[in-house]
């Protein structure tokens, strides 16, 4: 049975790793629903958050293959119930005279969204939440003449204690040396 | 050359100023490399120029194609357990390495490939002979990296050697831009012995080993499967000790062949598609399956849903990603095979399983009657591949390194070649690369010059890399080349006969005169087609001082049996 998994990968900050990681999915015909990459709270370590919809066995196998890549420190995989996750969406709306502003403000309040910026004759609305929530706002803003829409990939934190921190400490005491050069 | 001394921390490190290209050579020397296979070209010319000054220390073998270079390096790595080293230029030079990289990746062969790249300011401009070899080689390397600064060369090479040889070995590629080869650096070399993101060897879990020992002790019909992991971790003695103490019959994968002497009383033969009858059948009868350093390739398992379902599975493996990948394990012992087997053997009780072993012998007798006897001692006029291999065994006293290509001759050689020593069977197992044999045999001979190296090749595969006869001639490496000529792409023809109603679509070969070709390359050669002359022909070949090519005309439409057809269960192994 397919379900949503969030795969979190900690890696060294190296060129080409994104390629190596994404290729693990391509090779196994797994579609990546979303992928975000950024620096983590640990200096020099990057964090990838990848969302897929797959069956559990296939997911666990691909996670092992990812972890096997030389510059990957650790890969975890979580079910939705094991994480707190969020996405951000931006919506562009044209501010012409016909715009029913009170009605719009009302929609924004119900959704916990806000006007991030007004640029010229447009306003940009921002909303964080799950995909379902940002999608609902999309539906609700549509009648106001939505001009543009973008949604980020998922960011997520597991709702248990971080095991990565302990793992990293163990790695650093065990490995004879942390290579900090370019290779 | 200036010598300057810098103080780093407390230590004084000698630093020498030199060009990046020379740093490449000195780094290789620091890693103990003696031989490099390669092919020059624009983007790697600075390295070749530096090589000129080190001809005494570093031997370069100029192959006739980069694919030849990388297969030769693989052949050398397989008989020495040391990383093979390859040079190639950018663009086509680099892309010609891809088949060898893929082959080495799937067969866990340590390689360090160094490719030249266009100068860094030209990267991404579609410059002459620019190709994004980092992206292209990504899925077929264990690791790769591009170096654009001379000062990064030593540390990149150090890391490359460490990654290629540690844990589950594999090929790595370093792409060095031409400007980095020209620029100068203060050279010092420090071997790499670990870094944060890479845990090559999982720590052995004693509790799991203990559990495995209890399971093995209680087993009535235990069965050991071993693969190349034994050879890679140099655990041959440990395997033997384990087998002998526990009295458990053991069978091998194609890449595990020669890790245990073929005539060992508990060696029960080859697994898989063209493996022996008994080990295939009894896989589905054993109660405990102990897999060591093998990865349950689909050619070994056949239909997974009908594979050893009755058995508890113990898997000794260095690569965590292999656990449960194909076959679900009951006990996983992660770690180096040598250490794992040592501990496991010490925890297992002495035992014997004579009745169970007898079952293997009974089934072997059936296979002998129906297949082996006819193959090794045929009563029909045409020569069989098997009888050629049997004679080679005799002539070499089972001491030769046998290198094979891919096809029927490969399966026959693996089935019938006999070995006393480890690291003696060199073949392209996982990728099944036709064209592998000739260059790999050259590499094997250069890696083990004191041993007889016999290359067994089909007439099809020979024509894929026959240009390496030129390299064999130039190096005078005494490779003994046997072409088993059936005028067919035999293995494909066999499948066409069995599964495609004998529609021999594009598998018949009209061949050139191999003897003339060989002689044209300056290599002594002859051809034999009658049984009465076979012995003498093989003996002439073996006795010849230097390389020799012998074409043996074999039966055109022979098939390799037993066979587990694709999608069938191992227990449905066919004898005809
Ligand atoms: C590079 C490559 N191309 C195609 C194949 C598919 N293939 C496997 S065996 C085989 C036939 C090999 O024929 P030959 O070399 O004459 O050996 P034989 O089977 O007759 O012993 C072919 C074409 C392959 N393994 N490798």
Residue A161: predicted pLDDT: 77
Which of A16, A61, A70 lies nearest to residue B198, judging by beta carbons?
Answer: A70
> What is the ipTM, given to two decimal places?
0.90
Tell me whether residues A183 and B143 touch, CB distance under 8 A. Answer: no
Residue A177: predicted pLDDT: 54
**Does A175 touch chain B if contact means CB atoms closer than 8 Å?**
yes
Question: pLDDT tens digits for chain A (183 residues)?
Answer: 999 999 999 999 998 899 999 999 999 999 999 999 999 999 999 999 999 999 999 999 999 999 999 999 999 999 999 999 999 999 999 998 999 999 999 999 999 999 999 988 999 999 999 999 999 999 999 999 999 999 999 999 998 877 899 999 888 887 655 555 556
Q: Give B307-313 contacts, CB < 8 A, sequence gap 24+.
A: B307/B283, B307/B569, B307/B570, B308/B283, B308/B284, B308/B570, B309/B284, B310/B284, B310/B285, B310/B286, B311/B223, B311/B283, B311/B286, B311/B287, B312/B215, B312/B219, B312/B287, B312/B288, B313/B288, B313/B289
B197 → chain A, closest CA residue: A73
Span B146-156, average pLDDT: 98
C-alpha of residue B491 to centroid of ligand 1, in Å: 6
> Ligand 1 atom 8: the closest Cα is on which residue?
B407
Distance between CA B41 and CA A94 in Å, rounded? 59
State what percent of residues in chain B have pLDDT above 90. Answer: 97
Which residue from B65, B254, B403, B407 has its CB within 8 A of the most atoms of ligand 1, so it is best to mutate? B407
Residues of B in contact with A64 (CB under 8 A): 320-321, 323, 325
B386 lines ligand 1 (CB under 6 A): no
DSSP state of B530: S
B158 → chain A, closest CA residue: A183
Distance between CA A148 and CA A142 in Å, rounded? 10
Residue B138: predicted pLDDT: 97
Residue B286: predicted pLDDT: 98
C-alpha of residue B524 to centroid of ligand 1, in Å: 26
A172 → chain B, closest CA residue: B196
B461 lines ligand 1 (CB under 6 A): yes
Tell me whether residues A71 and B138 touch, CB distance under 8 A. Answer: no
User: What are B556-575's pLDDT values in tens digits?
Assistant: 999 999 999 999 999 999 99
Min Cα separation B156/chain A (Å) = 6
Query: What contacts B265, CB < 8 A, 6 or more positions away?
Result: none
Q: What is the dihedral of CA B492, B498, B499, B502, to 10 degrees?
A: 80
Residue A175: predicted pLDDT: 63
Q: Is the pLDDT of residue B6 over 60?
A: no
Q: Is the pLDDT of residue B485 over 60?
A: yes
The tokens describing B328, both together, are: 């679900």
Tell me whether residues A70 and B139 touch, CB distance under 8 A. Answer: no
Distance between CA B171 and CA B104 in Å, rounded? 6
Task: Tell me the average pLDDT of chain B.
Answer: 96
DSSP string, B399-465: -SEEEE-SSHHHHHHHHH---SSSS-EE---SS--TT-HHHHHHHHHHHSTTS-EEEEEEHHHHTTS
Residue A35: predicted pLDDT: 96
Report residue B10's pLDDT band, with 50, 70 and 90 as the boundaries: very low
Distance between CA A146 and CA A128 in Å, rounded? 18
User: What are B260-289's pLDDT values in tens digits?
Assistant: 999 999 999 999 999 999 999 999 999 999
Which of A27, A72, A177 lies nearest to residue B139, judging by beta carbons?
Answer: A27
C-alpha of residue B435 to centroid of ligand 1, in Å: 9
DSSP string, B259-303: SS-TT-TTEEEE-STTS-HHHHHHHTT-SEEEEES----HHHHBS
Enzyme catalytic residues of B: 66, 128-129, 178, 491
Min Cα separation B198/chain A (Å) = 6
Which of B138, B146, B193 lies nearest to residue A20, judging by beta carbons?
Answer: B138
Span B30-42, average pLDDT: 98
User: What are B369-428's pLDDT values in tens digits?
Assistant: 999 999 999 999 999 999 999 999 999 999 999 999 999 999 999 999 999 999 999 999
User: What are B202-248's pLDDT values in tens digits?
Assistant: 999 999 999 999 999 999 999 999 999 999 999 999 999 999 999 99
Tell me whether residues A70 and B143 touch, CB distance under 8 A. Answer: yes
User: What are B402-418's pLDDT values in tens digits?
Assistant: 999 999 999 999 999 99
pTM, two decimals, is 0.95
Nearest atom in ligand 1 to the alpha carbon of residue B409 is 21
Span B15-25, average pLDDT: 95
> Count of CB contacts below 8 A, A vs B?
72
H or E, element range at B348: none
Report residue B1's pLDDT band, with 50, 70 and 90 as the boundaries: very low
B385 lines ligand 1 (CB under 6 A): no
Q: At what angle do helices B206-218 and B337-347 cross, to 10 degrees?
A: 50
DSSP string, B80-145: HSS-EEEEE-STHHHHTTHHHHHHHHHTT--EEEEEEE--GGGTTTT-TT---HHHHHGGGSSEEE
Nearest atom in ligand 1 to the alpha carbon of residue B486 is 20
Residue B288: predicted pLDDT: 98
Q: What angle do CA B508, B511, B515 make, to 5 degrees?
A: 150
Distance between CA B309 and CA B83 in Å, rounded? 38
Residue B443: predicted pLDDT: 98
Residue A178: predicted pLDDT: 52
Tell me whether residues B197 and A71 touch, CB distance under 8 A. Answer: yes
B171-177 and B184-187 as β-strands: parallel, antiparallel, unpaired? Answer: unpaired
> Ligand 1 atom 2: the closest Cα is on which residue?
B434
Tell me whether residues B155 and A182 touch, CB distance under 8 A. Answer: yes
Q: Is the pLDDT of residue B527 over 50?
A: yes
Q: In 10 A of CB A147, how many CB atoms?
A: 14
Which residue from B461, B506, B508, B556 has its CB within 8 A of the most atoms of ligand 1, so it is best to mutate? B461
Residues of A in contact with B197 (CB under 8 A): 11-12, 70-73, 171
Q: Is the pLDDT of residue B505 over 90?
A: yes
Cis (ω within 30 of 0) for the bond into B56?
no
C-alpha of residue B494 to centroid of ligand 1, in Å: 11
Residues of B in contact with A182 (CB under 8 A): 149, 152, 155-156
The tokens describing B321, both together, are: 């990603």
Residue B9: predicted pLDDT: 46
B489 lines ligand 1 (CB under 6 A): yes
Closest CA relative to residue B442, chosen from B83, B170, B63? B63
Tell me whether residues A16 and B193 touch, CB distance under 8 A. Answer: no
Residues of B in contact with A177 (CB under 8 A): 193-195
């Amino acid at each position: 049975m397919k379900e949503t998994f969030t795969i979190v990968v900690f890696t060294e900050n190296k060129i080409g790793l994104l390629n190596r990681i994404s290729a693990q999915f391509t090779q196994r015909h797994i579609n990546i629903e979303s992928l975000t990459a950024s620096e983590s709270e640990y200096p020099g370590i990057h964090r990838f958050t990848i969302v897929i919809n797959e069956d559990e066995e296939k997911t666990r196998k691909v996670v092992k293959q990812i972890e096997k890549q030389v510059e990957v420190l650790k890969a975890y995989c979580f079910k939705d119930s094991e994480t707190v996750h969020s996405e951000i969406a931006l919506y562009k709306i044209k501010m012409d005279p016909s715009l029913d502003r009170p009605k719009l403000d009302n929609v924004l309040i119900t959704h916990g969204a806000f006007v991030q910026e007004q640029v010229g004759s447009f306003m940009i609305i921002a909303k964080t939440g799950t995909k379902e929530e940002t999608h609902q706002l999309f539906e609700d803003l549509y009648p106001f003449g939505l001009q543009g829409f973008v949604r980020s990939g998922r960011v997520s934190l597991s709702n248990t204690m971080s095991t990565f921190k302990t793992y990293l400490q163990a790695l650093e005491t065990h490995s004879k040396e942390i290579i900090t050069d370019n290779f | 050359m200036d010598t300057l001394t810098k103080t780093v921390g407390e230590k004084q490190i000698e630093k020498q100023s030199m060009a990046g290209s020379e740093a490449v050579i000195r780094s290789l020397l620091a890693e103990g490399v003696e031989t490099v296979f390669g092919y020059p070209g624009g983007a790697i010319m600075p390295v070749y120029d530096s090589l000129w000054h080190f001809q005494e220390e570093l031997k370069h073998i100029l192959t006739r194609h980069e694919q030849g270079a990388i297969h030769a390096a693989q052949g050398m790595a397989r008989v020495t357990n040391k990383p093979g080293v390859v040079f190639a230029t950018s663009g086509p030079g680099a892309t010609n390495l891809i088949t060898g990289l893929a082959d080495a990746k799937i067969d866990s062969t340590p390689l360090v490939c160094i490719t030249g790249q266009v100068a860094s300011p030209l990267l991404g401009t579609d410059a002459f002979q620019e190709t994004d070899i980092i992206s292209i080689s990504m899925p077929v390397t264990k690791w790769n990296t591009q170096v654009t600064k001379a000062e990064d060369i030593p540390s990149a090479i150090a890391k490359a050697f460490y990654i290629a040889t540690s844990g589950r070995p594999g090929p790595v590629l370093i792409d060095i831009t031409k400007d980095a080869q020209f620029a100068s650096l203060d050279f010092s070399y420090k071997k790499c012995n670990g870094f944060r993101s890479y845990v090559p060897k999982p720590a052995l879990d004693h509790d799991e080993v203990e559990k495995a020992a209890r399971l093995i002790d209680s087993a009535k019909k235990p069965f050991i499967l071993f693969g190349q992991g034994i050879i890679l971790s140099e655990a041959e003695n440990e395997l033997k000790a384990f087998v002998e103490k526990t009295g458990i019959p053991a069978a091998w994968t194609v890449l595990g062949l020669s890790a245990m002497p073929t005539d060992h009383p508990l060696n029960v033969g080859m697994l898989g598609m063209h493996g022996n009858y008994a080990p295939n059948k009894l896989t589905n009868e054993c109660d405990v399956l102990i897999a060591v350093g093998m990865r349950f390739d689909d050619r070994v398992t056949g239909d997974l849903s009908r594979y050893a379902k009755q058995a508890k599975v113990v898997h000794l493996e260095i690569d965590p990603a292999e656990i449960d990948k194909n076959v679900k394990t009951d006990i996983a012992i992660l770690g180096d095979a040598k250490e794992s087997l040592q501990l496991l053997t010490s925890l297992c009780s002495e035992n014997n399983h004579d009745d169970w072993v007898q079952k293997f012998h009974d089934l072997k007798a059936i296979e002998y009657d129906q297949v082996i006897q006819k193959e090794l001692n045929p009563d029909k006029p045409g020569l069989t591949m098997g009888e050629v291999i049997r004679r080679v065994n005799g002539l070499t006293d089972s001491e030769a390194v046998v290198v094979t290509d891919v096809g029927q001759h490969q399966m026959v050689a693996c089935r019938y070649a006999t070995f006393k020593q480890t690291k003696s069977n060199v073949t392209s197992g996982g990728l099944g690369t036709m064209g592998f044999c000739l260059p790999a045999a050259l590499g094997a001979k250069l890696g083990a010059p004191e041993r007889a190296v016999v290359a067994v090749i089909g007439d099809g595969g020979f024509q894929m890399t026959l240009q390496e006869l030129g390299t064999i001639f130039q190096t005078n490496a005494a490779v003994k080349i046997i072409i088993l000529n059936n005028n067919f792409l035999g293995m494909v023809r066999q499948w066409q006969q069995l599964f495609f109603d004998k529609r021999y679509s594009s598998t018949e070969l009209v061949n050139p005169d191999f003897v003339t070709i060989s002689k044209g390359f300056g290599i002594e050669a002859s051809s034999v087609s009658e049984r009465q002359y076979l012995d003498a022909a093989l003996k002439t070949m073996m006795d010849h001082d230097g390389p020799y090519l012998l074409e043996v005309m074999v039966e055109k439409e022979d098939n390799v049996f037993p066979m587990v057809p694709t999608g069938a269960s191992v227990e449905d192994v066919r004898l005809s």
